[in-house]
Structure formats: C-alpha cells, structure tokens
Amino acid sequence: MALYAYNRREDNNMPQAESELMFSIGKTYDLYHLLLLLVVDIADIAGEKIDQALQKRMPTPEDLNPRRRFVDNAVIAQLRINKALNSYLSSKKLSWTNNPHIPRVLYNKMIVWKVYEEYMQSETHTYQADKKFIIKMITELFALSDDLNSNLEEQSIYWNDDMEYITAMVEKTLKKFKVDSGENAALMPLYKNEEDAEFVKILFRKAILHDKKTSEFIDKNTTNWEVERIALMDILVMQMAITEILEFPEIPVKVTLNEYIEIAKYYCTSKSSTFVNGILDNIVKEMRDSGIFNKFGRGLVGEDYSE
C-alpha cells in the first residue's frame, strides 16, 4: 500500500514515502497492543457489573454468587500486569478512553455469545481453557465485530486492513503464554531483528529505484497486454516480487512467489493471483535461463546450479 501511495504521488519524494511506510508499520504495532488491552478493559467492565449487582438493595441469589470465571481468567490476569504491554501503552499513550463504547459493546456481545456461555459453564477450570477462550474471543468475537472494525477505520486509515493480520499475531503471542509467565510473558517485537527491519526498507527502496527494470520484465512477458491496461496493484505486486528475487539471494524463489501470490489474492482483483502467478513464472524462467540471479544459503532451496 505504501508503494501504491508513492506511485500516486507527483513529487517522487522517496524519503517521505519511506517515512510514511515506517509510520504505518508502527501504527500496526499500536493496534496489536490495543487489542490485548481491549481484553483487559472488557474484563474490567465484567468486574464492574458484578460489583454493581452486589450493591443492590435486594440482590438476587445470582447477584450474591456471581460467576467470576471470566473476570478471574488467568491469562487476563497476566495481561493486566504484563510489563511489556503496560510499558508500550504508557509510552504511546494508547487506551480506549476516547472510545469507551467499544469495550462495552463487545462486552454485551460476549455475554450472549455461545462460546462464552460454554466457557462459563464448563467444569474444566484450567489455564489452557482460559487461554483457549481468550484466543477465541480475539480471533472470532473481535475479528467479526462490525462495530470494532468500523471504529478502527475511524481511528486510523492505517487500520483499514490490519485486523486479520493482527489477530493472527495476537493468537501466536498468546499461544506462547505459560502458567508461570507472570508479568514477563513475552510479546511479539516490532521486528524479529535488525535484519528484518532493514529488509523492509531495502525492499521498498529497491522496488522504487528499479521500477523501470522490473517493468521491462513485466512488459516483455505480457505480450498480449499493454502494461498501461494492467491494474496498478498487479504491477506493483509483480515489481516487488521481482525485486525480492533479484536483491535478496538468501530467499528461495518459491518462497517469494508464494508470498506475492497470496498478497495478490488479498490486495488485487479476484483473477489477479492467477494472472500474477503466470507472469511471474514466465519471468523467473527467463531469469533462470539468462542466469540473471544467483541464490546462496537458504536461497538455494529449489535451485539447480549443477553443471
């Protein structure tokens, strides 16, 4: 999307475009933390409801004996005291304070949710059961909430298509939580390592700097099409794939192709993945025949350099 935005600019300001790319990645990381916080905020509302019921002048037997399983969920307790989560939220001043209706809307949806009722009534009170419910809460209840998704789009244009990816990352994070992790349960870093961070910048820069070269590959292998008639997103996906093949010799070609075919399915038209797949296959064949790229290390997987 950052590459698309750059192509729509008229000033060809690559530093500014790169800055916007890095900012958008940071916003995605903000959302990762906000979804974890949302779980805690919903638990706080559940706790408030129990306290309010106990303060009634004439509490019912149910009010006096509330079901506290969700409020006392062990994973929520870990999130509540998690050092990394609280530190990031504090440093970025992130909260749901300006959107208090969202935790309440989701609380109301949760208490009539079949999965919630099954969890509350289950006799299996284990850490794993607590974790399983929180993961379902995020990947199903949150992910499918029109209210939440609409609100996120209103809060930031950078969150328009992040939900599916971020819920998957949150699920991956929570699966690694352990009963004794306490306040030090690890959260996912913004980048796996410095090399990962550099990869983003280099791929973006090279895709821009080599767009003429990659366009020639595409033009040559779309003989029945004029490049101008091909959707811009299709072209950008192929340009990035070609750039990755040429500039990152340690990445296997098959890995690159699979990745960008999936990206085409997500960001382009319904027929784009098949079209992109066919064109990239032809381009890779041309590259192999011409010896244009050389892979090493892990990048040799699938390549035949025998004499």
- Is residue 301 scored above 80 in pLDDT? no
**pLDDT at position 11, please?**
85
Q: What gap in Å lies between CA 11 and CA 208, rounded to an integer?
A: 13
Label residue 298 by pLDDT band (50, 70, 90): confident
Q: What's the rounded Cα separation, in Å, for the pair 184 and 128?
A: 18
DSSP secondary structure code for residue 126 in this structure? -
| Residue 107's pLDDT band (cuts 50, 70, 90) | very high
Domain boundaries, the chain: 28-184, 194-300
**pLDDT value at position 140?**
96
pLDDT of residue 63: 67
Task: State yes or no: pLDDT of 102 exceeds 60.
Answer: yes
Distance of CA 17 to the CA centre of its chain: 21
Type of residue found at 217: F
Query: What span, in angstroms and rounded, lies between the C-alpha atoms of 170 and 182?
Result: 17
Residues 6+ apart with CB under 8 A from 167: 35, 138, 139, 142, 143
Q: What is the pLDDT of residue 67?
A: 82
- The domain made up of 194-300 has a fold known as N-utilizing Substance Protein B Homolog; Chain A (1.10.940)
The model's pLDDT over 72-92, given as tens digits with 9 standing for 90+, comes to 999 999 999 999 999 999 999
What Å distances lie between residue 121 and 116, 132, 267, 305, CA to CA? 9, 15, 42, 61
The reported pLDDT for the residue numbered 131 is 97
Q: Given this model, what pLDDT does residue 60 score?
A: 81
Closest CA to 83 of 228, 193, 182: 182
- Summarised one tens digit per residue, pLDDT across range 171-227 is 999 999 999 999 999 999 999 999 999 999 999 999 999 999 998 999 888 866 555
Query: Higher confidence at residue 12 or residue 116?
Result: 116
Place of tokens 């950078």: 158
Q: Tell me what the mean pLDDT of segment 285-304 comes to.
A: 79
Residue 95's identity, in one-letter code, is: S
Q: What is the CA radius of gyration of the chain?
A: 24
Give the pLDDT score at 307. Answer: 44
pLDDT of res. 111: 96
Res 272: pLDDT: 84
Q: Which residues contact 16 (CB under 8 A, 6 or more apart)?
A: none
As a whole number, the mean pLDDT across the chain is: 90
pLDDT of residue 227: 57
Mean pLDDT, residues 281-295: 87
d(C-alpha 230, C-alpha 133), whole Å: 45
What does the pLDDT read at residue 206?
Answer: 95
pLDDT of residue 172: 97
Band (21; pLDDT cuts 50, 70, 90): very high
E strand segments, 212-301: none
Q: Which residue has the higher pLDDT, 241 or 297?
A: 241
- The pLDDT of residue 141 is above 90: yes
Which two three-digit tokens encode residue 282? Answer: 């032809």
pLDDT greater at residue 86 or residue 269: 86
CB within 8 A of 59, min separation 6: which ones?
A: 53
How many degrees, rounded to 5, is the angle at CA 139 between CA 133 and CA 110?
55
Supply the pTM of this predicted model.
0.87
In whole angstroms, what is the distance from residue 169 CA to residue 187 CA?
Answer: 10
Q: Quote the CA–CA distance of 301 and 282 in Å, as a whole number.
A: 19
What does the pLDDT read at residue 232? 87
